[in-house]
A = this chain, B = another copy of it.
Amino acid sequence: MTTPEYQIFSLGSNPELGIEIAKILGTDLSTIDTRQFADNEIYERIEHTVRGRDLYVIQGISDPVNDNFMKLMIFIDAARRASANTINVVIPYFGYARSDRKARSREPISARMIANMLESQGIKRVITMDLHADQVQGFFDVPVDHLLSMPALGHYFYENKLLGDDLVVVAPDHSSVGRARKFAKLLHAEWAVVDRRVDNSVPDKAYAVTGNVAGKRAILIDDIIDTGSSMVLASEALLAAGVTQMYAVAPHAVFSDHAVEKLEKSAIQQVLVTNTIEVPAAKQFSKLLQVSVASTFAETIRRVNSFESIEDLIKSPDNVDVML
């Protein structure tokens, strides 16, 4: 008796990404009957047997985050009770990851709570991309295959020869310094940081650029573009500091509030994101370029399923290790 093939489910946060992943893997998405009632209660029924199968379920914790998360939880419950062999959750965007520490007394650590809830229902593995902090991996006891979008994003700059000496990678605030340094290393560039100075009694010193940026092309990099404020303010500081051209790069396009309008109006020339979050038609805009990470997820699923290492998936186009 042979073990049956693995199956892929897509629960609706990123329908196109799910289809793309299945296509790359040469398979079809398995079908599930999902309904949401007037009071938001979710009903799901897996349509065909999953007994003994290894399941990969794709669902980002993106807007509406609570509904999307509960859809995932309910799927896990149904799949476990239906005798799935293993349940591997693929979370392109891990919402609540910014709540990863108590910044003040009596705050929650919601990202750990999400991890606890997922593990309490018996998942075997998490596959995700660009966690807000690497430490969130440690919120899980099960294996986390933590993918990076940098190789895919970097590829764009390689292809367009945006490399080297006249390029500087800039962190829009101090918390992105690590990310900027890594991307700079990948592109063999220098890095700099825009910072809101701590003594805000002197308003005109509010934003300062540290590092050599004058006369260079700048790549602003962050993990998330949420309201867009931090990218746009940083772009203004860079402009004042004499950069010649600006790109904004981030894997996760949350684009809440007036993000789209602000970015469109800004001096930023191009906004490069991935499809870990599906950008609806209403939020598409001229400067936006969306790089697909479907092949990274698909290749990861293929390797996980055939017991191969994914180590080289997180290296740059010319093999620079960007994880360190």
Q: Which residues of A contact B (CB under 8 A)?
A: 1, 3-4, 37-53, 62-67, 69-70, 73-75, 77-83, 95-96, 99-113, 116-117, 120-122, 125, 133-139, 141, 143-146, 174-175, 177-178, 181, 184-185, 188-193, 195, 197-199, 210-211, 227, 254, 256-257, 303-311, 321, 323-324
Contact = CB atoms under 8 A, between A and B. Distances in A.
A134 B4 CA distance: 30
A37 B104 CA distance: 19
18 contacts: A39-B65, A40-B67, A46-B106, A78-B108, A79-B106, A81-B107, A81-B144, A82-B143, A83-B143, A100-B138, A101-B135, A104-B323, A120-B120, A138-B138, A189-B199, A190-B198, A191-B198, A192-B210
Given A177-B174, A178-B174, A45 B104 contact: yes
A253 B69 CA distance: 26
A116 B122 CA distance: 11
B109 A39 contact: no
Give 7 nearest A-B pairs by CB, closest first.
Answer: A38-B256, A135-B135, A52-B307, A39-B63, A101-B134, A49-B309, A78-B108
A178 B195 CA distance: 11
A324 B141 contact: no
Given A138-B139, A193-B210, 8 more contacts: A38-B227, A39-B63, A39-B64, A74-B113, A78-B106, A100-B135, A135-B136, A174-B181
A175 to B, nearest CB: 7
Contacts of A197: 190
A137 B109 contact: yes
B53 A307 contact: yes
A194 to B, nearest CB: 11
Give this chain's copy count: 6
Contact of A62 (B39, B63, B304, B321): B39
Contacts of A178: 174-175
A308 B110 CA distance: 24
B51 A108 contact: no
Contacts of A65: 39-41
B66 A70 contact: yes
A83 to B, nearest CB: 5
Nearest to A84: B143
Counting chain B CB atoms within 10 Å of each CB, which of A1, A51, A108, A135 scores highest? A108
A304 B198 contact: no
Contacts of A175: 178
Contacts of A145: 83
A311 B138 contact: no
Contacts of A96: 41
A35 B64 CA distance: 15
A267 to B, nearest CB: 23
A136 B139 CA distance: 9
